[in-house]
């Protein structure tokens, strides 16, 4: 049995120690730790990487602090449109969902699509219909309500622009939020199980005040999520449009496959060079088939955690 490991993230961006009270910091670290435990406990019992990333992301979706599932941001019309994806590095099977409403855990819908359909991505009403047919848990709008996210939306809802959590406070129409948390809200997990199989999963509520069914990188296989046993598993968080243009997650795999880069080297090239050159702010987490972990970001911080079977464990927020 080889070394197994898991890594998670809860978003990246301008996250400074001065932005969070000690109580908020403790709450975020607890949320990360709960997700890490949920995924690691599966690996520890000999479970699969797919099961581990699913459990970790479900935990993060259920935590109201993170912009995914329960704590998703508000759209222009005052609803919640959620995106998610999952990929199995052993089979290269993948499932994704975009612009879905009312589904409690979009990552579970993504996995159901991967395992019970011939498709990779479903969207909006069709995705909701699929969820109902497979008896996934649904919730009404009240379940997804967060006062913090609602207050954020109130500051920007009359503007014709969507706002990433991390820069709402820097826009002219939201100066009142200077003391608010500013981050890219996405959650994700990557894992390597005891058999050397890899998996990645990502979930998000998207951008505050987004319009026109805007879709970011999270549900796009190769941009926000990618897993291949021959190289790595990657989950991204950041300015989705730029991560799509960079095909960020798959680019890490390509650098490992074609240039012989290590996981750390490949993620640094993509995150600290390629994305920076196109003003793509954010980060990513990754794991390779030997259980090596990399957590790389070009922003002020990234909610993150990791645990390996050799006893190494990390929970962190700031740079």
Residue 186 is a catalytic residue: yes
- Pick the catalytic residue from 186, 204, 225, 237: 186
Indicate the pairing of strand 121-123 with strand 94-100: parallel
How many residues are present in the chain? 319
Contact 72/78 with Cβ under 8 angstroms? no
297 DSSP β-pair partners: 283
CA distance 169 to 179: 8
**DSSP class per residue in 118-147:** S-SEEEHHHHHHHHHHTT--B--HHHH--H
* Cβ-count burial 209-238 (b if 16+ within 10 Å, e if not): bbeeebbbbbbbbbbbbbbbbebbbbbbbb
Catalytic positions are 186
């Amino acid at each position: 049995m080889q070394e197994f490991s898991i890594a998670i993230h809860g978003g990246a961006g301008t996250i400074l120690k001065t932005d969070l009270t000690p109580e908020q910091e403790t709450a975020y670290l607890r949320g990360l730790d709960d997700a890490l435990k949920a995924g690691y406990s599966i690996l520890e019992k000999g479970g699969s990487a797919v099961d581990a990333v699913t459990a970790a992301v479900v935990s993060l979706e259920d935590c109201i602090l993170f912009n995914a599932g329960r704590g998703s941001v508000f759209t222009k019309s005052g609803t919640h449109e959620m995106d998610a994806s999952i990929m199995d590095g052993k089979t290269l099977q993948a499932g994704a969902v975009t612009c879905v409403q009312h589904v409690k855990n979009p990552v579970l819908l993504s996995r159901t699509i991967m395992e019970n359909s011939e498709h990779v991505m479903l969207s909006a009403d069709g995705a909701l219909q699929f969820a109902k047919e497979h008896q996934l848990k649904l919730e009404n709008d009240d379940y997804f309500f967060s006062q913090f996210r609602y207050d954020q939306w109130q500051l920007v809802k009359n503007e014709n622009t969507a706002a990433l959590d991390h820069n709402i406070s820097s826009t002219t129409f939201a100066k009142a939020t200077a003391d608010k948390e500013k981050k890219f809200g996405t959650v994700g997990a990557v894992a390597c199980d005891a058999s050397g199989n890899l998996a990645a999963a990502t979930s998000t509520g998207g951008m505050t005040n987004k319009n026109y069914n805007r879709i970011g990188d999270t549900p796009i296989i190769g941009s926000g999520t990618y897993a291949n046993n021959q190289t790595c598993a990657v989950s991204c968080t950041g300015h989705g449009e730029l991560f799509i243009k960079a095909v960020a997650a798959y680019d890490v795999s390509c650098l490992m496959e074609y240039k012989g880069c290590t996981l750390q080297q490949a993620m640094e090239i993509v995150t600290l060079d390629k994305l920076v050159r196109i003003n793509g702010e954010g980060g990513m987490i990754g794991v390779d088939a030997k259980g090596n972990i990399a957590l790389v970001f070009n922003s002020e911080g990234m909610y993150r955690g990791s645990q390996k079977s050799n006893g190494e464990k990390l929970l962190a927020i700031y740079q």
